[in-house]
Amino acid sequence: MLRITINCPFCKIKEMGFRIIYLEENLVFDRRYFIGSAICLNKNCKMPVGFKGLSRNHLNMWKINEKMNAISEHLFDEFVKLISIWPTPEGPNIPEHLPETLKELFEEAEHVRLSGPIAARIAIGAYRSVLDAALLPLAEKNEIKVTEKMRSGNDRYKLISDLADKDILPKPIKEWLGSNGIRTLLTSGSHGTSKFSPEQADEIAQITRLILIYLFELPGRVAAEREKFEASRKEAEAERLIEE
Ligand SMILES: [Zn+2]
């Protein structure tokens, strides 16, 4: 079986083995390119990817071409350097204009989540820390009563719901979090040992990301865009004054 090692874009397992099911060779000048497709060897995944690679070593590639079946014990990626994979495995997606501490915390959470499905529970804990770091000071600043339960991470839903009631967070976020099965994602405490799926980690990641976009990226972008347009308006006015 001809295999290749890829970070699976679907089950997110790093350096996962894929079975090559199609392979096409292209000679461009003296470079040997490969285009192929392969299936994830994780039994619960089995999703296909496309890939493009470049031969690392012509001599070895000749051996492959002559005895495709004979090298079944070898990994294809010993001979081929991957150039691209379709679909592209997800990378960290961090909102702009975040304060430094929040950026670091969110980056950490993204790296944990993308490290593989086994880390879902740890990733969820990491996003909860991001939410606490972003929302607790905001609640205090806006004279929302921060209870001991909120501070210890056992009442994040109430914290978010209070912020939404004061229009500091969008109401649809509160509605999303209030729907079935999401609240447990938010609560540490007794759920500390609960099992979570990678999809649940993706969901809390997206909720956290949207909250940060609303609180920091959007105002930051508005300020930056406004500044840009004001600067060009001033420039235009100055030019008009010179012309007059
Ligand atoms: Zn997979």
Distance from Cα 16 to the centre of ligand 1, integer Å: 7
Asked if residue 238 belongs to a domain, the reply is no
Place of tokens 């308006």: 233
- Domain count for the chain: 2
Distance from Cα 86 to the centre of ligand 1, integer Å: 13
- H/E stretch holding 100 reads helix 100-114
Distance from Cα 230 to the centre of ligand 1, integer Å: 49
Q: Are residue 63 and residue 164 in the same domain, yes or no? A: no
| Cβ density class 186-222: b for 16+ within 10 Å, e for less | bbeeebeeeebebebbebbbebbbbbbbebbbeeeee
Query: pLDDT for 185-204, tens place per residue?
Result: 888 654 556 788 888 999 99
DSSP string, 143-162: T----HHHHTTS-HHHHHHH
Q: Are residue 107 and residue 224 in the same domain, yes or no? A: yes
Asked if residue 67 belongs to a domain, the reply is yes
Q: Are residue 112 and residue 82 in the same domain, yes or no? A: no
Distance from Cα 220 to the centre of ligand 1, integer Å: 37
| Cβ density class 136-172: b for 16+ within 10 Å, e for less | bebbeeeebebeeebeebbbbbbbbbbbbeeebbeee
The number of C-alpha atoms within 13 Å of 207 and in the hemisphere containing its C-beta is: 28
Q: Are residue 54 and residue 153 in the same domain, yes or no? A: no
Q: How does DSSP classify residue 75?
A: B
Asked if residue 32 belongs to a domain, the reply is yes
Q: Are residue 109 and residue 61 in the same domain, yes or no? A: no
Q: How many CB atoms lie within 10 A of CB 100?
A: 7
Asked if residue 234 belongs to a domain, the reply is no
Distance from Cα 81 to the centre of ligand 1, integer Å: 20
Cα–Cα dist 67/50, whole Å: 23
Asked if residue 80 belongs to a domain, the reply is yes
Tell me, what's the pLDDT at 116?
Answer: 82
Q: Are residue 11 and residue 111 in the same domain, yes or no? A: no
Q: Are residue 76 and residue 108 in the same domain, yes or no? A: no
Q: Are residue 132 and residue 205 in the same domain, yes or no? A: yes
Digitized pLDDT (tens) for each residue of the chain, 244 residues in all: 788 899 899 988 888 999 999 988 888 877 788 899 999 999 999 999 999 998 876 655 555 555 555 444 456 777 788 889 999 888 899 999 999 999 999 999 999 999 888 889 999 999 999 999 999 999 999 999 999 999 998 899 999 999 999 999 999 999 999 887 788 788 865 455 678 888 899 999 999 999 999 999 999 999 999 999 999 999 999 988 888 7
Distance from Cα 14 to the centre of ligand 1, integer Å: 9
Q: Which two tokens stand for residue 50?
A: 């496309």
Classified as helix, coil or strand, 197 is coil
Task: Identify the CA nearest to 10 among candidates 51, 47, 38.
Answer: 47
Cα–Cα dist 72/40, whole Å: 17
Asked if residue 95 belongs to a domain, the reply is no
Distance from Cα 183 to the centre of ligand 1, integer Å: 28
Rounded to 5 degrees, φ, ψ at 166 are: -95, 10
Asked if residue 116 belongs to a domain, the reply is yes
> 86, 121, 141: which is the final residue of a domain?
86
Q: Are residue 24 and residue 79 in the same domain, yes or no? A: yes
Distance from Cα 55 to the centre of ligand 1, integer Å: 24
Q: Are residue 126 and residue 46 in the same domain, yes or no? A: no
- H/E stretch holding 32 reads strand 31-40
Place of tokens 């609303």: 214
Express as a percent the part of the chain with pLDDT over 70: 89
Residue 110: domain span: 100-228
Asked if residue 241 belongs to a domain, the reply is no
Q: Are residue 166 and residue 62 in the same domain, yes or no? A: no
Q: Are residue 59 and residue 167 in the same domain, yes or no? A: no
Residue list, CB under 5 A from ion ligand 1: 8, 10-11, 40, 42, 45
User: Could you tell me if residue 12 is left (phi over 0), alpha (psi between -120 and 50 degrees) or otherwise beta?
Assistant: left
